[in-house]
Structure 1
């Protein structure tokens, strides 16, 4: 009997923790201070849950900044032009989920080197309302390091649900023949794991002979010898339902397939 009572007490103590489902995610999962990012916050289990009025983000630079680290929109009570950029959007299907999209350097008015981590809370118009997300949340910002190379991906790390862009720099290619190609295509293939635990290897978007007649594999000419192709892995590739893509292989080539670059690889995050 005493053991049962102890178990009941422990369960009751854990209930408040289980009810607080406050979470934060970003898209893309990895970003720099100069990238546009969408921050999504679930306020379930907080005093803001079920709130029907407008909601704002209260944000600050939690790492890398020495002075004036609050966002210029941190004004209480919120409302009016000065806080308009901090207003978040409520999800249409889940009223406890909110999103906001911004570029950190613009939102904070700081240099990239001063933005290493963003701290945030969501709140109703006034702190005095007593309606806000419970704990300080933080999201990491990657350092802005760019070294020109023949190929690169942005972001460097990504999930299967993120938009990833493959870049080809014609000026830096190791293939002299590729330097004169005017229409560039990508031969793309993926590896990963099926829902049943079996592996799949080098599954192509299109066969080598079909790449030149597949419009979605043609790169966009961005000028100055830079070409790019953007895609969402889980949407772009034809893999079985529930499969996880762990690696993307790609070769840049001409439409005919007679001229090509080296083989490159990109590794998305396997966990959200």
Structure 2
């Protein structure tokens, strides 16, 4: 079950009375649609700022999202939290939640697009936000808001291969993260790679069955563009955009991409991971 943690003691098994829920409620893909739903009937009215927020809802006021992780948009950005000299008292209209017929409020985003970060950043930081009235009080007035909320966005389960990619659904111009968790590698000859010893063989396969590779396996280690970056703790990553990474044939349609993590000095099959990452390309 997706963990949704808040200072309101929400737990793993969210009930219908929980004030924050999500669709989907688990296996959230940061590069796909996410709906955050706020149920004001679940507010704790014994808490002053929550009681004031419930009063604002009952008075017909709109509700607004205020968010700061995985990124905060600066002044002048279309999705800045608030505007003017006292932004907490003047939420941006672009951050207004949708009022639903059942009394709840919802906010739909694609996290990577809204926050303008890659999936790795969302996985690392999660989503942190609160719900407030347009005038959230403050500046000497009582706050009109929920407590701080956080939605944990976790990478796919670790049963997968140590070399993998995300997001799972990829278009030809998307940012793709290749990640190699070398600390989980079971192949003895590929264990304990040094920080400069991890490279990624890259090949594109077209729908007509033809293919092209950036370098053959024996030359991969001589191309710095194919080096995976050491991000610490036995992990390596590479961010790519297929249209920039490959010299694609504009007259052909891409079927899939193939990547293989390997040592810089490749001599035999012992110097590569057992399973390649194969990425189908959707909706070109």
What band does the TM-score fall into relative to the shorter chain?
Answer: 0.5 to 0.7
**2:165 aligned to 134, 153, 176, which one?**
153
Which residue of the partner structure matches residue 228 of structure 2?
219
TM-score, length basis structure 1: 0.52
Partner of residue 190 from structure 1, selected from 204, 211, 222:
204
2:263 paired residue among 230, 234, 254: 254
**Structure 2 partner of 1:209:** 218
| Counterparts of 1:214 and 1:86, CA distance in 2 | 48
Structure-1 separation of matches of 2:218 and 2:66: 54
Contact 1:233 1:245 in 2 (8 A): no
Q: How far is the alpha carbon of 1:208 from its aligned partner?
A: 1.6
Name the CA distance, whole Å, in 2 between partners of 1:169 and 1:62: 30
Distance 1:225 1:189 in 2: 25
How many pairs were matched up?
Answer: 172
Q: What TM-score results when the alignment is normalised by the length of structure 2?
A: 0.50
- Between the aligned partners of 2:38 and 2:237, the Cα distance in structure 1 is 33
Structure 2 unaligned blocks of 5 or more: 1-26, 44-61, 68-81, 96-112, 117-121, 131-147
Q: Which residue of 2 aligns with 1:240?
A: 249
Cα distance in 1 between the residues matched to 2:151 and 2:178: 23
More strand by share: 1
Gaps of 5+ in 1: 1-30, 40-60, 89-98, 114-142
C-alpha distance in structure 2 between counterparts of 1:158 and 1:86, whole Å: 31
Counterpart of 2:115? Answer: 101
* CA displacement at 1:72 relative to structure 2: 2.8
CA deviation vs aligned residue, 1:184-232 (integer Å, no higher than 9, x gap): 0111112123xxxx3323x212122221110010010011100011100
- The one of 175, 180, 186 equivalent to 2:192 is 180
